[in-house]
Chains A and B, each alone.
Chain A
Amino acid sequence: AQTVTQSQPEMSVQEAETVTLSCTYDTSESDYYLFWYKQPPSRQMILVIRQEAYKQQNATENRFSVNFQKAAKSFSLKISDSQLGDAAMYFCAYNRETSGSRLTFGEGTQLTVNP
C-alpha cells in the first residue's frame, strides 16, 4: 500500500522569508501524481501545486515550487516570500495512475507565518 509521510507537524516562517515543507512517499508504481493541498482556517481545501511523476521538471506556481526527487521518493514544497495568508495546514498527497483520483494523504504540516 502507498504511504505518505510528512515528518514536520508544525513549521513557522517569518513574513517575506522562504520555507520548505517536507514530504516522502512509498510506492512501487512508476506512474503517479503528487499534490500539495492547503487548508486554511476556513477548512476549504485548495490545490496548491501538482507534479506528474513522468515529468523531470519541477512544478512551479508563482511563489510555490516543488523539489521532486523520484529516486528518493521525496516531494518537498517551497514557499518563497511568505505571506500572512499562507498560514494554513498543508497536506501532501499521492495518487497512482490507475486509482482514479483516489488520493492518499500525509498527516499534514501546520504552517505559521509570523509578521
Chain B
Amino acid sequence: DVKVTQSSRYLVKRTGEKVFLECVQDMDHENMFWYRQDPGLGLRLIYFSYDVKMKEKGDIPEGYSVSREKKERFSLILESASTNQTSMYLCASSRGDSRNTIYFGEGSWLTVV
C-alpha cells in the first residue's frame, strides 16, 4: 500500500513562529502536494511539486513556502505563523499524469495562538 506520512498530527504554535510540516511518501511518486482544509471551503491547493527542487504555486500560496530536496519528502513552511493559518493541512502524492490516483496523508491539525 502507498503510504503518505505526515510527521505531526497535532501542533500548537504561537503567532510569529516558524513552522515546518513534514511529509514523506514511500512509493517513488513524482508529484507531491500540500492542501489546506477548512469547513465549507473544501480542500485548497497551497503548493505542489512535480520533481525534486521543483515547486509551483497553487491557489493560496501566500504566507507559505515549500521545500523538496529529496523525491520522497515535501515540506511546508510557514515563515511567520498567523492565527488565520489555523487549519488542517493535508499532504498528498501521485504518479506523473492526471489519470493517476492521489494518495493522502492523515493530516496535520495546526493551531496558531
Where the two chains meet, the residues of A that have a C-beta atom closer than 8 Å to any C-beta of B are: 4, 6, 9, 32-33, 37, 42-45, 47, 50, 52, 91, 95-108
Contact = CB atoms under 8 A, between A and B. Distances in A.
A98 B98 contact: yes
A102 B45 contact: yes
B88 interface: yes
Those 5 A-B pairs whose CB atoms lie nearest each other, nearest first: A45-B104, A105-B42, A105-B43, A101-B94, A43-B107
Contacts of B92: 45
24 contacts: A9-B40, A32-B98, A33-B98, A33-B99, A37-B104, A43-B106, A43-B107, A47-B101, A47-B102, A52-B99, A95-B98, A96-B98, A98-B98, A99-B98, A100-B31, A100-B50, A100-B96, A100-B98, A101-B96, A101-B98, A102-B98, A106-B42, A107-B40, A108-B42
Contacts of B35: 105
Contacts of A91: 42-43
A101 B95 CA distance: 8
B97 interface: yes
A91 B37 CA distance: 11
A80 B71 CA distance: 40
